[in-house]
């Protein structure tokens, strides 16, 4: 149900969503076996779509942006477009996999911000939400297979409930979703810069694409996140550079270009300022395992405005 493609100028595979007839929805749900062998991929890759995995059994670990978490079923793993992930030494994985494009959530735009919150951790321990989530996923899969009248609307509503329950497992208050127009605009901006090539956009071009002025974007993003749009772009540039250094064999010059820098020397100074390491030092510490314990995450560290 998903297609593997390798981007020509990168050697980091990109998986795209491909659903079979007769659904023709940007959505799929099924077991690991039903979704296909790529759902258990043991090599670093990224997606153009969202993936929610409900793991009910198995051994090994899930690695998301270099953070490795041993499997402790039942648990939920959420992967957002652009993130690098894989299953490390995983055996006997069981559970359900939900795949969907952003278009599937047009009726619930606030869920996109919530998904980014959930995707900031390699695994969500479900606690008392495990039972309700298991039942909900079983109902979703039955709805998807039977395709009764109105089933796309039922699946969209069920996916919204799934996201809310996952947030409750993280925090009793469901913290993480950004409410209102301010939060919607900030979430749209962060999604925009997280898309392929997004780090090469300027604040002005993002504002134009989102249909607001640069000043309005500056004010709304700072209010919602505590950071300026420029700072968030720099964090995303750092994150993209770390992903490429860790999971590809691109040269520093090539990584510099892909992360949005025209001058490799400036990129090296920028990277050292943001991480405390040169690109070469970071790559040597990560090594071939992609989860060196000295580097606990490639997520950008919070910084000033």
pLDDT band (50, 70, 90) for residue 182: low
Q: Domain limits of the chain?
A: 2-170, 180-286
Asked if the model's pLDDT at residue 174 lies above 80, the reply is no
- In the prediction, which pLDDT does 292 show? 42
Sign of the C-alpha dihedral, residues 122, 61, 85, 137? negative
- In the prediction, which pLDDT does 280 show? 92
- In the prediction, which pLDDT does 176 show? 43
Rounded CA-CA distance 278/261 in Å is 15
Region 248-267 average pLDDT:
92
Average pLDDT, the chain: 82
Percentage of the residues of the chain whose pLDDT score is greater than 90: 38
CATH 1.10.10.10 fits domain 180-286: no
Rounded CA-CA distance 126/141 in Å is 19
Residue 244 CB burial class (10 angstroms; 0-12, 13-18, ≥19): buried
- Alpha-helix runs per DSSP H in 179-213: 180-194, 203-210
Asked if the model's pLDDT at residue 30 lies above 90, the reply is yes
- In the prediction, which pLDDT does 164 show? 92
Region 60-64 average pLDDT:
91
What CATH number should be reported for the domain whose range is 2-170? 2.60.120.280
pLDDT band (50, 70, 90) for residue 20: low
Which residues, 6+ apart, have CB-to-CB distance to 14 below 8 Å? 4, 5, 6, 7, 45, 46, 47, 48, 196
Residue predicted with more confidence, 226 or 94: 94
* pTM assigned to the model: 0.71
């Amino acid at each position: 149900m998903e297609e593997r493609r390798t981007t020509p100028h990168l050697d980091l595979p990109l998986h795209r969503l491909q659903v079979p007839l007769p659904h023709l929805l940007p959505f799929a749900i099924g077991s690991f076996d039903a979704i296909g062998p790529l759902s258990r991929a043991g090599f670093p890759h990224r997606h153009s779509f969202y993936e929610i995995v409900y793991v009910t059994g198995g051994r090994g670990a899930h690695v998301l942006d270099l953070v490795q978490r041993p499997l402790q079923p039942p648990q939920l793993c959420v992967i957002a477009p652009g993130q690098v992930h894989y299953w490390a030494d995983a055996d006997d994985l069981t559970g359900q996999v939900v795949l969907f494009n952003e278009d599937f959530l047009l009726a619930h735009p606030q869920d996109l911000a919530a998904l980014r919150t959930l995707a900031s951790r390699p695994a969500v321990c479900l606690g008392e939400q495990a039972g309700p989530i298991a039942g909900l996923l079983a109902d979703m899969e039955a709805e998807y297979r039977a395709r009764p009248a109105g089933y796309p609307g039922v699946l969209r509503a069920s996916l919204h409930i799934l996201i809310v329950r996952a947030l409750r497992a993280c925090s009793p208050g469901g913290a993480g979703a950004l409410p209102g127009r301010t939060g919607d605009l900030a979430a749209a901006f962060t999604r925009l810069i997280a898309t392929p090539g997004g780090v090469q956009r300027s604040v002005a071009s993002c504002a134009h694409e989102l249909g607001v002025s640069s000043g309005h974007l500056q004010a709304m993003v700072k209010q919602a996140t505590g950071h300026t749009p420029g700072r968030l772009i720099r964090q995303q540039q750092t994150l993209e550079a770390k992903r490429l250094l860790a999971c590809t064999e691109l040269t520093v010059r090539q990584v510099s270009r892909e992360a949005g820098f025209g001058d490799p020397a400036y990129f090296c100074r920028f990277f050292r300022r943001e991480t405390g390491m040169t690109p070469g030092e970071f790559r040597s510490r990560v090594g071939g395992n992609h989860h060196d314990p000295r580097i606990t995450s490639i997520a950008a560290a919070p910084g000033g405005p």
